[in-house]
């Protein structure tokens, strides 16, 4: 199959969160399964072209915007360790900035920046000589590509037999825009806007646009698929998801275990596996050596790790609401790597100053440290308010780092409460969104930490789980085949 993936993030070039990991892992897997994959990404100002060997090509592509043309030079690289081509769109106007989205509030022209990406993704097909069977668009940023596919490019020789698939990574971000501004730029008539596939609450809503124009729609876990369809977690999109119900399903994210394997991970102090699990403590010792004075480095105290964007979604309020009851008495340490909202960064640093050997706080984005923290911690906490899938808990399982999670979205699909009677289960879960429910789950977890038989069982149960991207890549291929059938093609002929 020829697959054109279009996204705002792709690991390791441009990453804020799990979207980047998933785009990259899926592309690698499809390639490994013999499919032809191209990834299209903006050339953001902070992409390290030298490090990743990204080079300019001679192609400059004209992109229709409104009644004029804008231009992008194509740069080309490959996903490291593979020969999957990644095309980067150069644009001084749109992408040559330090940030990806311009957090925390977003760049004011994000609608236009991603409109450009979405249109250019189709326009570059001739230059890269690609006839896609599938356009796979991720999140609101690239939803316009599917609207274009079904309208302006419907009879285009390269796209007449192309199906469009839309994957929702987070329905909380919907991409709203003023129709008078964006529709003329996208060449859609303003007079047909009210009640159209673009419109939600009087604005252009790109989440709705993706849902309505795609042949098939997926989201990143089965539980989240149910939540956003039937509950307020859908944030207003429930009627559209219901309208498209027959074409909508959850495909659980998978991990790239070539990147996340404690036996081969180059970022961690000491490799280990199920058979050599005691070596995990050498990582813990390493982390303590780096951050705690010698007299307080005891390995006995459990470390609860967290690697996260610092936003309300991630349940940081619950963490702040109960952390002191565990560190004050020295029953636990926390190692937190995060970046995001200033109010959370400040609150965590305040705790770090108050309990310098018990609350270890690292702010900023640091890929290497994220591996180190996950390998060195005994537990990984994810008290998310909502979580479409979550990847860090999946990584933690492979590292024998026991997840303590709120059972929502993909967390509910990947972490099973430990049952001491049957010896099954991989972590600790709680339901109610409250600091006290979270604290009770931590209490339960700490009890088993002190019990070698159970402790060993929980960790090895987790390490044996297989949430590989290979599985999810195969499920996506099924979705792609259904999408091709939907547009009247024989999926076996690709």
* 305, 336 Cβ separation under 8 angstroms: yes
* 137, 26 Cβ separation under 8 angstroms: no
340 binds, among ligand GLC, ligand ADP, none (CB under 5 to 8 A by kind): none
Nearest residue to the partner ligand GLC, using Cβ? 18
Of residues 303, 252, 228, 284, the one with CA closest to residue 415? 252
Residues numbered 360 to 389 that lie near ligand ADP (CB under 6 A) are 365-367, 370, 389
Binding-site member from 111, 247, 256, 387 for ligand GLC (CB under 6 A): 387
Q: Where are the alpha helices (DSSP H) in 355-434?
A: 367-376, 392-398, 409-414
**Strand blocks (E) in 269-425:** 303-310, 333-340, 359-363, 379-382, 402-406
**C-alpha triplet 177, 46, 21: angle, nearest 5°:** 75
Cβ closer to ligand GLC: 91 or 393? Answer: 393
For residues 388 and 394, what is the distance between their CA atoms, to the nearest angstrom? 13
Cβ closer to ligand GLC: 229 or 280? Answer: 229
H/E element, 3? strand 2-6
Asked if 19 touches ligand GLC (CB under 6 A), the answer is: yes
Q: Please give the backbone phi and psi of residue 375, each rounded to the nearest 5 degrees, phi first.
A: -70, -35
Nearest approach, Cβ of residue 390 and ligand ADP (Å) = 4
For residues 288 and 69, what is the distance between their CA atoms, to the nearest angstrom? 56
What x/- string results for residues 325 through 354 when contact with ligand GLC is judged by CB under 6 A?
A: ------------------------------
- Starting from the edge strand earliest in sequence, which strands make up the sheet with 203-205, in order? 176-177, 203-205, 199-200
Binding-site member from 3, 5, 8, 22 for ligand GLC (CB under 6 A): 22
Binding-site member from 10, 149, 206, 220 for ligand GLC (CB under 6 A): 220
Binding-site member from 42, 352, 383, 388 for ligand GLC (CB under 6 A): 388
Options 205-213, 279-287, 390-398, 424-432: segment touching ligand ADP (CB under 6 A) = 390-398
On the 0-12 / 13-18 / 19+ scale of CB atoms within 10 A, 245 is exposed
Nearest approach, Cβ of residue 209 and ligand ADP (Å) = 22
Tokens 């937190």 label which residue? Answer: 336
**Strand blocks (E) in 55-186:** 55-65, 68-78, 85-90, 134-138, 163-168, 176-177
220 binds, among ligand ADP, ligand GLC, none (CB under 5 to 8 A by kind): ligand GLC
118 binds, among ligand ADP, ligand GLC, none (CB under 5 to 8 A by kind): none
For residues 305 and 173, what is the distance between their CA atoms, to the nearest angstrom? 27
Binding-site member from 169, 208, 229, 406 for ligand GLC (CB under 6 A): 169
Q: Residue 204 forms beta bridges with which residues?
A: 177, 199
Count of residues that interact with ligand GLC, criterion CB under 6 A: 14
Q: Classify strands 55-65 and 176-177 as parallel, antiparallel or unpaired.
A: unpaired
* 112, 182 Cβ separation under 8 angstroms: yes
Residues numbered 20 to 59 that lie near ligand ADP (CB under 6 A) are 21
Nearest approach, Cβ of residue 455 and ligand GLC (Å) = 27
Binding-site member from 205, 218, 223, 308 for ligand ADP (CB under 6 A): 308
Asked if 392 touches ligand ADP (CB under 6 A), the answer is: yes
Cβ closer to ligand ADP: 105 or 129? Answer: 105
* 119, 65 Cβ separation under 8 angstroms: yes
Nearest approach, Cβ of residue 267 and ligand ADP (Å) = 11
* 325, 304 Cβ separation under 8 angstroms: no
Asked if 126 touches ligand ADP (CB under 6 A), the answer is: no
Nearest approach, Cβ of residue 170 and ligand GLC (Å) = 4
- 3-state DSSP helix/strand/coil % of the chain, to nearest 5: 40, 20, 40
For residues 20 and 478, what is the distance between their CA atoms, to the nearest angstrom? 22
What x/- string results for residues 291 through 330 when contact with ligand GLC is judged by CB under 6 A?
A: ----------------------------------------
Which three-class secondary structure state does DSSP give residue 326? helix
What x/- string results for residues 321 through 360 when contact with ligand ADP is judged by CB under 6 A?
A: ----------------xxx---------------------
Options 12-20, 101-109, 398-406, 473-481: segment touching ligand GLC (CB under 6 A) = 12-20
Asked if 17 touches ligand GLC (CB under 6 A), the answer is: yes
Residues numbered 405 to 424 that lie near ligand GLC (CB under 6 A) are 410
Cβ closer to ligand ADP: 18 or 77? Answer: 18
Q: Please give the backbone phi and psi of residue 86, each rounded to the nearest 5 degrees, phi first.
A: -120, 125
Cβ closer to ligand ADP: 188 or 257? Answer: 257
Cα separation values, 475 from 22, 95, 426, 488, 489, Å: 14, 33, 24, 20, 19
Binding-site member from 390, 403, 425, 462 for ligand GLC (CB under 6 A): 390
**Which residues in this chain contact ligand ADP in the complex, by CB under 6 A?**
17-19, 21, 307-309, 337-339, 365-367, 370, 389-392
**Which residues in this chain contact ligand GLC in the complex, by CB under 6 A?**
17-19, 22, 169-170, 220, 253, 387-391, 410
């Amino acid at each position: 199959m020829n697959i054109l993936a279009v996204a705002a993030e792709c690991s390791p070039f441009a990453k804020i969160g799990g979207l980047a990991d998933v785009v990259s892992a899926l592309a690698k897997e499809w390639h490994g399964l013999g499919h032809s994959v191209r990834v299209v990404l903006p050339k953001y100002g902070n992409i390290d072209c030298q490090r990743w060997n990204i080079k300019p090509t001679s192609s400059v592509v004209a992109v229709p915007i409104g009644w004029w043309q804008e231009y992008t030079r194509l740069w080309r690289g490959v996903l490291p360790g593979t020969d999957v081509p990644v095309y980067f769109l150069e644009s001084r106007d749109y992408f040559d900035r330090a940030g990806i989205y311009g957090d925390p509030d977003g760049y004011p022209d994000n609608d236009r920046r991603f409109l450009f990406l979405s249109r250019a993704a189709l326009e570059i097909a001739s230059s890269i000589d690609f006839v896609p069977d599938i356009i796979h668009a991720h999140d609101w940023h690239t939803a316009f590509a599917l609207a274009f596919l079904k309208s302006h490019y419907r009879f285009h020789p390269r796209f007449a037999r192309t199906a469009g698939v839309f994957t929702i990574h987070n329905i909380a971000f919907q991409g709203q825009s003023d129709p008078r501004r964006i529709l003329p730029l996208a060449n859609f008539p303003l007079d047909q806007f009210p009640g159209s596939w673009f419109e939600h609450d009087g604005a252009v809503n790109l989440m709705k646009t993706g849902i309505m124009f795609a042949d098939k729609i997926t989201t990143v876990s089965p539980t989240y698929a149910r939540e956003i369809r039937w509950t307020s977690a859908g944030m207003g999109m429930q009627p559209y998801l219901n309208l498209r119900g027959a074409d909508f399903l959850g495909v659980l994210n998978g991990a790239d275990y070539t990147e996340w394997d404690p036996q081969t991970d180059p970022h961690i102090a000491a490799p280990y596996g199920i058979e050599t699990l005691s070596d995990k403590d050498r990582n813990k010792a390493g982390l303590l050596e780096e951050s705690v004075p010698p007299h307080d480095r005891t390995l006995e105290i459990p470390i609860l790790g967290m690697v996260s964007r610092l936003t309300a979604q991630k349940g940081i309020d619950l963490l702040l609401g109960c952390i002191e009851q565990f560190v004050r008495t020295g029953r636990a340490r926390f190692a937190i790597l995060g970046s995001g909202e200033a109010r959370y960064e400040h609150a965590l640093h305040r705790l770090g100053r108050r309990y310098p050997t018990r609350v270890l706080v690292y702010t900023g984005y640091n890929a290497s440290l994220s591996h180190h923290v996950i390998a060195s911690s005994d537990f990984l906490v994810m008290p998310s308010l909502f979580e479409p899938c979550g990847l860090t808990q999946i990584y933690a399982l492979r590292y024998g780092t026991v997840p303590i999670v709120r059972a929502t979205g993909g967390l509910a699909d990947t972490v099973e409460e430990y049952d001491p009677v049957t010896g099954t289960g991989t972590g600790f879960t709680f339901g109610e969104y409250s600091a006290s429910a979270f604290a009770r789950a931590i209490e339960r977890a700490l009890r088993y930490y002190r019990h070698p038989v159970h402790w060993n069982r929980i960790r090895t149960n987790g390490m044996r789980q297989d949430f590989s991207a290979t599985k999810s890549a195969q499920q996506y291929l099924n979705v792609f085949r259904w999408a091709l059938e939907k547009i009247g093609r024989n999926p076996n002929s690709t």
